[in-house]
Amino acid sequence: MVTQTKQSHFSRLIVVVIAFVAIQTVVGCLSGQRQFQYYARMAYLIEINIILTASLALINGYTGQFSLGHAGFMAIGAYTSAAITTIMPKILTGASLDPSTFLGNAGFVCSVIAAGCVAGVFGFIIGFPSLRLRGDYLAIVTLASGEVIRAGLRFSNFLGGPRGIPGIPPFTNAAYLGLFFVASLWMMRNFVYSRFGRACIAVRDNEIAAASMGINVTFQKVSAFIIGAFFAGVAGALFAHMSRYINPDNFGFLKTLDVLIFLYIGGSSSIAGSIVGAGIFTIVPEGLRLVNLESWRMVIYPLILILVMRFKRDGIMGDRDFSFLVPWKYKEMVLKRTL
């Protein structure tokens, strides 16, 4: 741990916050103009992917449970929120919620939180029986669960069936995204720096020792799974109101695969890893498209993966976090003892 003063910690944190607010404001202002719309969407997508990746990090990285069904939770979130802002209001009043009214916005915020909660419930339903399995078996069961969710949505005619839900109002803007992005990362960071975060790492390191030290291993795994599912649901809700159209095939195994790549490239046991992984790997494919190398995407993308895994097996960030992500009180506790 590098020695650092309280002043330098908070000045760095303030710089990061100001930079973030500035970027978010610029993106928000430019998003209205047609020629910048694409870039604004990219910025939004990066933030959504970071939430998604960090939520998977809680399960796959910190708790060490290899889950392959994360897109399923995202789908649950996306559909739940779209049902609240689009389908139900259309049935009741004939129109979806209006982004220009206060009621519409309140409905959207509620729908995002509801999306997280419903995804969390599904996290429990899937996690409770399957987290007793280990390694490959868990991977297969979660993979199957994700596909069951997708198939289920294809058959749910009241949710649009295979054609999905069109005409979702564009609630996701720079302000909402900034808010949910910061709140989600803050809460996940807090979880990691608590006794539950430590217990998750203990379970990953040595399950038998953890159980023998009084940790309820199943409870620990299931709670990490539920919290991961919750934030995946939030990310799904934000995604639905950004893309304005969702269908079940948005949330297939390939989506999970994308998130897994973000996670392991960035570093699976740190929030910083999720930020770096999702940030870089959302930009890379789009960047290749801009320089007309899109057809080479599937060559370059795996090549980067192979190189990172060859030279940095723990991902770009490993288990290191950005300094501003570490709570000051935590640093203080460690510093006091090492000085």
Partner 1 sequence: MALFAVHDLTHFFGGLRAVSGLNLSLEKGELVGLIGPNGAGKTTVFNLITGIYKPAKGRIEFLGRDITARSPHAINRMGIARTFQNIRLFHDMSIVDNIKVAARHEATYGIVTSLFHPPGFWKTEHELDVYCRELLAVFGLDKKAGDRSSSLAYGQQRRLEIARAMATRPSLLLLDEPAAGMNQSEAADLIDTIRRIKDTFGLTILIIEHNMHVIMKVSQRIVVLDFGETIAEGSPDDIRTNPKVIEAYLGKEDPNAA
| Sites of contact with partner 1 (CB under 8 A) | 1, 187, 190-191, 193-199, 201-202, 204-206, 208-217, 223, 227, 269, 319, 327, 329-330, 333-334, 337-338
| Closer by beta carbon to partner 1, 171 or else 225 | 225
What is the closest distance, in whole angstroms, from the C-beta atom of residue 140 to partner 1 in the complex? 25
What is the closest distance, in whole angstroms, from the C-beta atom of residue 246 to partner 1 in the complex? 27
Helical residues (DSSP H) of 4-86, grouped into ranges? 6-30, 37-56, 70-82
What is the closest distance, in whole angstroms, from the C-beta atom of residue 217 to partner 1 in the complex? 7
What is the closest distance, in whole angstroms, from the C-beta atom of residue 177 to partner 1 in the complex? 20
Cα distance between residue 9 and residue 136, in whole Å: 42
Q: Strand, helix or coil at 165?
A: strand
| Closer by beta carbon to partner 1, 37 or else 194 | 194
What is the closest distance, in whole angstroms, from the C-beta atom of residue 131 to partner 1 in the complex? 14
Cα distance between residue 68 and residue 138, in whole Å: 8
Cα distance between residue 75 and residue 169, in whole Å: 17
Q: What CA–CA distances, in Å, run from 76 to 117, 123, 146, 160?
A: 10, 10, 10, 14
User: Nearest-5° angle of CA 29, CA 31, CA 36?
Assistant: 115
| Closer by beta carbon to partner 1, 224 or else 265 | 224
| Closer by beta carbon to partner 1, 202 or else 325 | 202
Q: Strand, helix or coil at 246?
A: strand
What is the closest distance, in whole angstroms, from the C-beta atom of residue 212 to partner 1 in the complex? 5
Cα distance between residue 268 and residue 260, in whole Å: 9
| Closer by beta carbon to partner 1, 299 or else 334 | 334
Cα distance between residue 185 and residue 183, in whole Å: 6
Cα distance between residue 50 and residue 53, in whole Å: 5
Give the relative orientation of helices 174-192 and 195-205 as an angle to the nearest 10 degrees: 70
| Closer by beta carbon to partner 1, 20 or else 330 | 330
What is the closest distance, in whole angstroms, from the C-beta atom of residue 338 to partner 1 in the complex? 6
> Is the distance from CB of 165 to CB of 82 less than 8 angstroms?
yes
| Closer by beta carbon to partner 1, 207 or else 286 | 207
